[in-house]
Amino acid sequence: MTRNHPFWLGGVAASMAASCTHPLDLIKVRMQTLEHGSRRPSTISVLRASIAESGFRSLYAGLTASLMRQMSYSLVRLGSYEEMKARLSKDGPPSTLRLILAASLAGGLGGIAGNPADILLVRMTSDSIRPPEKRYGYRNAVTGLISIIKEEGIQGLARGLGPNTVRAVLMNASQVASYDFFKTTLLHHPLPLVDYQLRDNLLLHVVASTLAGTFATTVCSPADVVRSRVMAASCNRSVAQILVQSLREEGPRFLFKGWTPAFIRLGPNTVLLFVFFEQLKKGWVTMTS
């Protein structure tokens, strides 16, 4: 089995999905980066505050960073995984364990490639909830990238690289590999209760991606929260310091802070990602055949 679509197609699909779900990503990051002592916000309260800030346009703050992230992080993680899966499939369908390992490796590569854009995304989406004197004020992703290099040096682009890479490994293994697992399982077994056999069509892609999004949200939440807090920090606190302080002041529950908006964001994003990706792959095959 060979990969019959270009390496970058996954990045395009992810960018299309992110353009639709960016406001949900913004709300998730703002909930995760609120410091201890702030009144515990609800998803609705954060949404209302964001809209009150400067209208619905504020919900798309940091969109340029989100698109930069998808064309680095998602492009590499999806493209690498598809290439590895194609190579593993030469002698027959690969096992679930091999797919998980391939997805984990691809996720790690994507996390490294997308780390600078991830820093920009976290900072730009959480900027308005910071004290005015501590705001970054990046106009767009390009000027933000230049500012980080000027003010923090090249090493500033590696801030939070550890937790971000861990989170990327968990995300790819739990989202991409589980999507393939759910898709294959549903193709070979009828749905329980209704005894309905799915075929390889839009309905199958939606059901499998919804299950994958739910699973990925739960697995990735702890690393996602820690990553957001490290990247949002303006001082050079280590991951261990942030983790210890958060556990001491908020307890283990902080690791799942923002789970609801994370699921509300990741669920639709996962569905759109794989629906767009599947359609783009089919369209590419049709166009080139």
The two three-digit tokens of residue 198, written as one number: 């799915």
Domain boundaries, the chain: 9-288
Q: What is the pLDDT of residue 54?
A: 65
**pLDDT truncated to tens, each residue of the chain (289 aa)?**
567 889 999 999 999 999 998 888 888 777 767 654 545 566 677 667 767 766 777 788 889 999 999 999 999 999 999 999 999 988 888 898 999 999 999 999 999 999 999 999 989 888 877 788 888 989 999 999 999 999 999 999 998 898 889 889 999 999 999 999 999 999 988 877 667 788 899 999 999 999 999 999 988 888 778 877 777 765 667 778 888 888 888 888 788 877 887 788 789 999 999 999 999 999 998 888 7
| d(C-alpha 161, C-alpha 75), whole Å | 18
Classify residue 37 by burial, with Cβ atoms within 10 Å: 0-12, 13-18, 19+.
exposed
Q: Is 39 helix (H, G, I), strand (E, B) or coil?
A: coil
Residue 128, Cβ density class (10 Å: 0-12 exposed, 13-18 middle, ≥19 buried):
middle
Task: Single out the residue of 192, 170, 20 nearest to residue 104, CA to CA.
Answer: 170
What topology is assigned to 9-288 in CATH? Mitochondrial carrier fold (1.50.40)
Residues facing 191 on adjacent strands: 196
Residues sharing a CB contact under 8 Å with residue 115, sequence separation 6 or more, in sequence order: 157, 158, 159, 160, 161, 164, 165
If you write DSSP's letter for every residue of 41-94 in order, what string do you get? Answer: --HHHHHHHHHHHHSGGGGGTTHHHHHHHIIIIIHHHHHHHHHHHHHHGGGSPP
Please state, in angstroms and rounded to a whole number, the distance separating the CA atoms of residues 123 and 129.
10
The pLDDT of residue 160: 86
Q: Note whether 78 and 123 are within 8 A (CB).
A: no
Distance, in Å, from the CA atom of 10 to the CA atom of 82, rounded to the nearest integer, reads 9
DSSP character string of 269-285: HHHHHHHHHHHHHHHHH
Asked if 149 and 116 count as a contact pair (C-beta separation under 8 A), the reply is: no
